[in-house]
Structures are given as C-alpha cells and as structure tokens.
Chains A and B, each alone.
Chain A
Amino acid sequence: MDNLTLTEQCIIIGMCAAGTMICRFLPFIIFSRNSKLPNFIVYLGSVLPLSVFGMLLVYCLKDVDPSAPGHGAAEVIAITVTVLVHMYKRNMMLSIALGTIIYMIEVQFIFR
C-alpha cells in the first residue's frame, strides 16, 4: 500500500464518492426544474420499484457459491421460509429474523 501517496488515495476515494453521487443526484437534477414530469418518467417511477426490488433480491445472492454444500438448497429453503412466514403473519421483523436464523442453522450445522 505504499504505491499510492496520501493525496492519490484521497483522489481515488473522491472518485468513488463522485461516481456514487452522480448516480444518486442525476435524476433529481435533470427533473428538478420542470414541475411536470414527462409521462415516460412518471411511468418508469411507477414500474421500476417492483422490478428493482426483484433485482436487489437476486443481487444480494451474488456471492452464493453454487458448488458449496447443498448447492443453493440452503438459500432456497430459507427464502421459502421467509416468504411463507411473511405471507402468513405479515410481520417484517418476524419474517426476517426467522429466515435468517433458519439460514444460519442450515449453513452452520446442516450444509457444511
């Protein structure tokens, strides 16, 4: 880590921050002036969320190793439990806690 000087490190961190902030602020900057949003953007705002939550749900699984013991069974079971508990009780904390506990038991004691 002596490759980079302190200034260079700051620039790299600054670039990462800048990239993040461009992506976060851009829609608000583009569409701040006109009080009425274009129809297409209103449409996107209404259809994107469900697609994006679906995308995040898969994105969060990206580090799962398919060659690990169980070959994904642990994830499938824990997600199923989370979904069923949530459909039955509709209590966010309960569904998340139970799903996570089941998953931890699976990977620590069953699929290992």
Chain B
Amino acid sequence: MKFQAFKFVFPRTLPILTGFWFVGIAYGTYMNVAGFSFVYPMLMSLIIFGGSLEFICVSMLLSTFAPLSALVVALVVQARHLFYGISMLDKYRGLGIKRYYLIYGMCDETFSINYTSKVPEHLDKGWCFFFVTLLNHFYWVSGSVLGGILGDFITFDTTGLWFVMEALFVVIFLEQWKNDEKHQNGIIGIGVTALCLVTLGKDSFLLASMIIIFSILSLQYLYTRKMKGRLLPNG
C-alpha cells in the first residue's frame, strides 16, 4: 500500500527535486559564503522549511539580535500559508497522526502538488500526501546541505535553471484552470499580484496582493449571497 503510494507520487515530485536542488544549493552556498557551517542551512531547512524566509533569516543572523522583528517578518512572509491551510482543511481531514507532519511541511510546492494531484481510488490518499511532503522536505534539506558543503565546486552553467519552478507553477495553474469553472479567480490572482509587483516592488507586493485578493473574493461572496437572497427570500 505504502509502496504503491510512493510509486505514484515520486514522478510527480521530480520537477521539485530539480528546483529544490537548484535553489537549495544556491542557498547553502550563500550561507557558506556568509561564513556559516553547513549545519546551519541543514537545520534551518529541516526546521523552517520555507525557502524565501530562510534567505531572509541569514541576514537576520548577521545583524543585531531582534527576535520580535524576526517573528513579525516570518509571519508576513509566510502569511500565504494561511490560504493553503484554508484550501486543505477538507483534504487533510481524518488522516490521523500523519496530518501534523503534512501541515508542518506544507510549503508552496507541496501544497500545489497535494492540492492538484488526483489520487486514484485504490491508493491511500494519506500516504500519497505524506510521501510528497517527505520527498520535498528531503530534496530541500539535501540541496541546502550540498550547497553548504560544496557550493563553490559546482561549475557547470545552471543559469536559468530556476525556471523549473516557474514552469511547475504555470502547469499547476493550467491544471487547476481546467478543473475550476470560475476562471475569473485565476485572472484575479495573476492580475492583482502582477499589478502589486509592478507598482510596489518585490519587497512588499506579496502581503498587499493577498489582502486585495482576499477582499475581492470576499466581496464576490457577499455579492452572490445577496443575489441568491433576492431569488430565494427564505434561503
């Protein structure tokens, strides 16, 4: 049962192996150059398991001690995970103790894969989710360790390899686009985020995008409820 689940999910995680090794090695190298032993990227990747925040965390480790602002930055950078949790409430229900690890390890990529992959009937959904989470976690930690140990020895030209992540998100978006009839929500997601990125710059666009997307979706909810209320005065 477990092996079958593993066999089903492993190929689906290969793009993430490529992407995480690329970014993870870059991250490990970055810490190495900043003077940290590979133990730091290893433990940080294991414990935090959130790429962009880990990069930011390096600069926190290099400046003066400010734990509270570290927490605030972490909450802001990671706020998007609230959206993932809300989307996964149902899918992660009733999976026993595995559930805690699934939530713990739910990074962008794990959420994307676990939300969109259609697990065949004969396979155990919980184990499929578990292996996706575990494999991605492993790819990220091993990439960071590799970078931390031998970052400088990698010589072949990997310029542009980061695009594997972009391609993954494009494909995930297309798959969801096909499954979801409400296409306007996809356009809202792309449009609002792109607009915020262009106007606010890359350091502060994300939180603004999330707030605006959330507001538009909420208004949409209120509006459809109002329309329904008109049609069905009792419902």
Query: Contact residues of A with B, CB < 8 Å?
Result: 1, 3-4, 8-9, 11-28, 31, 37, 40-41, 43-45, 47-63, 74-75, 78-79, 82-83, 86-87, 92-93, 95-96, 99-100, 103-104, 106-108
Contact = CB atoms under 8 A, between A and B. Distances in A.
B80 interface: yes
Contact of B166 (A15, A50, A61): A61
Among the interface residues A17, A103, A106, which one has the most CB atoms of the partner chain B within 10 A?
A17
Contacts of B176: 49-50, 53
Contacts of A103: 160, 163, 166-167
Contact of A28 (B53, B89, B163, B210): B89
Interface of B: 11-12, 14-15, 18, 34-36, 43-44, 47-50, 53-54, 56-57, 60-65, 67-68, 70-75, 77-90, 92, 99, 103-104, 106, 108, 112, 115, 157, 159-177, 180, 182-183, 185-194, 197, 202, 205-206, 209-210, 213, 217-218, 220-221
A21 B197 CA distance: 26
B9 to A, nearest CB: 12
A93 B14 contact: yes
A87 B88 CA distance: 27
A62 B202 contact: yes
A27 B186 contact: no
Given A41-B89, A45-B89, A86-B174, A16 B186 contact: no
Given A19-B71, A59-B193, A41 B164 contact: no
Given A20-B78, A59-B193, A47 B185 contact: yes
